[in-house]
Amino acid sequence: MSGRDWRFWSLAGGAAAAALFVSAVSHWRDDILRTMLDPKTPYQTYKPPPAPDYAEPAAWALLPPMRWAAGDPPADVFFVHPTTYDGGRHWNAPIDDKKADKVLTRTMLPNYAGPFERVGRVFAPRYRQASLYSFLTLRDDARDARRFAYRDVEAAWRAFRSRYDKGRPLVIVGVEQGGQLTARLLSEVVARDPSAMARLAGAYLIDTVVPEDAYPSGSALPACATRTQARCVVAWAQVDADDADARDKLDRALVWRGDSQFEMLRGRQALCVNPISATIGGAAPARISLGAANASAKPWGKRPTVMPGQVTAHCEGGLLRAARPLLPMLQPPPAWAARLKEPPYNLFWADLEGDAKARVSTLMGRPDFPTSAPPIETSVNVRTVGVRRAGN
């Protein structure tokens, strides 16, 4: 064999080996990712990070000033964020993990809490969230991590109610992991609190699998059937319109049951309230979509550019199938772990904003969304004096 032939076959062999390696990594990438993120410590012997103190500002990703300012929107929003921590060392993330907090503040808050900023003052607790790995396995350890995360969410809610809640309309929002924890909070705490229920404009369980029969019509907390309805739940689990494996999202879903344990959905219908049309089930054409947005890296308080008329969505078999536009800013990230988290954009950014405003207006008995004046912080004593007639 000549030198030229040897070099040719060496290069060809190297290229084939590289292709085989890439193919193997692609085929087993989920298994590789699980292995990398597995804490490799049984939960029974795991020592969780220190608990957050919700009396301290550091325990909150968003904490508005105690004083209500002129022009503040009329409601208060309690927001429970989605997964931002990959795992690898912990089952439950420390609230000061820098990488997870960067994802939270740079991506998740502007994209998923941002739509509610003009609806109310947003309170977003940091909590010892279950790691991404906990959602890649059905092991009991993973379920323990999710149950543990709920402790912080309930503690944050009780701190909000005792320290920051001033009697305004309430909007409660949870996304993905935060949506599951919020679903439990709604059923076990909020629904048993007459004061909170009386002021609940709406609860949003974004990209969250919950059973439709948990929110029946006529109950104290039904699914929202129209946009002019308050004290109800908007929930959906989102997949791409052409996702052939979308059913896996329901087949692997764990939902809360009455004894605070998890169970499989097992054929129960998942709730799908279409965020564009605000109806249970059905389809929504792009022409009525109020606007998708990529708000990542936007400073808090700066409204992103929204793109109306871009997204179609329809409920099918308990899933919301959304046709994502081809705009580069609305494409999923390439990194494996990032693709398993909530995307760095929100296809229903303006739809959620408009929906929440409508429900607050309904609760307040207003035909439009009000801009509230600030409360009277101090009182002034007025002295009564007699009235004299002119000329006396």
Would you say 174 and 186 are in contact if contact means Cβ atoms under 8 Å apart?
no
Residue 109 pLDDT > 90, yes or no? yes
How far apart, in whole angstroms, are the C-alpha atoms of residue 104 and residue 100? 6
* Residue 24: per-residue pLDDT: 40
Residue 280 pLDDT grade (very low, low, confident, very high; cuts 50, 70, 90): very high
What pTM does this model have? 0.87
Residue scoring higher pLDDT (79 or 32): 79
Residue 20 pLDDT > 80, yes or no? no
State which of 199-213, 245-259, 323-337 shows the largest mean pLDDT: 199-213
Mean pLDDT across the stretch 92-102?
97
Residue 71 pLDDT > 90, yes or no? no
> Of the ranges 42-56, 133-147, 182-196, which one carries the lowest mean pLDDT score?
133-147
Residue 374 pLDDT > 50, yes or no? no
Mean pLDDT across the stretch 259-268?
87
Task: Indicate the average pLDDT of the chain.
Answer: 88
- Backbone phi, then psi, for 238, in 5-degree steps? -100, 135
Residue 306 pLDDT > 90, yes or no? yes
How far apart, in whole angstroms, are the C-alpha atoms of residue 191 and residue 378? 34
* Residue 15: per-residue pLDDT: 53
Residue scoring higher pLDDT (33 or 72): 72
Nearest to 107 by CA among 350, 345, 352: 345
Nearest to 230 by CA among 205, 210, 211, 203: 203
Rg (CA), the chain: 25
Residue 69 pLDDT grade (very low, low, confident, very high; cuts 50, 70, 90): confident
Residue 257 pLDDT grade (very low, low, confident, very high; cuts 50, 70, 90): confident
How far apart, in whole angstroms, are the C-alpha atoms of residue 182 and residue 329? 29
What are the tens digits of pLDDT across the range 345-370? 999 999 999 999 999 999 999 999 98
* Residue 32: per-residue pLDDT: 61
Q: Which residues contact 107 (CB under 8 A, 6 or more apart)?
A: 84, 296, 297, 344
Would you say 260 and 188 are in contact if contact means Cβ atoms under 8 Å apart?
yes
Burial 173-208 (b: 16+ CB within 10 A, else e): bbbbbbbbbbbbbbbeebeeeeebeebbbbbbbbbb
* Residue 258: per-residue pLDDT: 81
Q: Which residues contact 230 (CB under 8 A, 6 or more apart)?
A: 200, 201, 202, 359, 360, 362, 363
Residue 387 pLDDT > 50, yes or no? no
Q: Give the Cα-Cα-Cα angle 323, 328, 329 (nearest 5 degrees).
A: 90
Mean pLDDT across the stretch 117-137?
95
Mean pLDDT across the stretch 168-194?
97
* Residue 31: per-residue pLDDT: 62
Residue 321 pLDDT > 90, yes or no? yes
> Of the ranges 26-30, 117-121, 224-228, which one carries the lowest mean pLDDT score?
26-30
Q: Which residues contact 141 (CB under 8 A, 6 or more apart)?
A: 42, 43, 46, 91, 134
Residue 74 pLDDT > 90, yes or no? yes
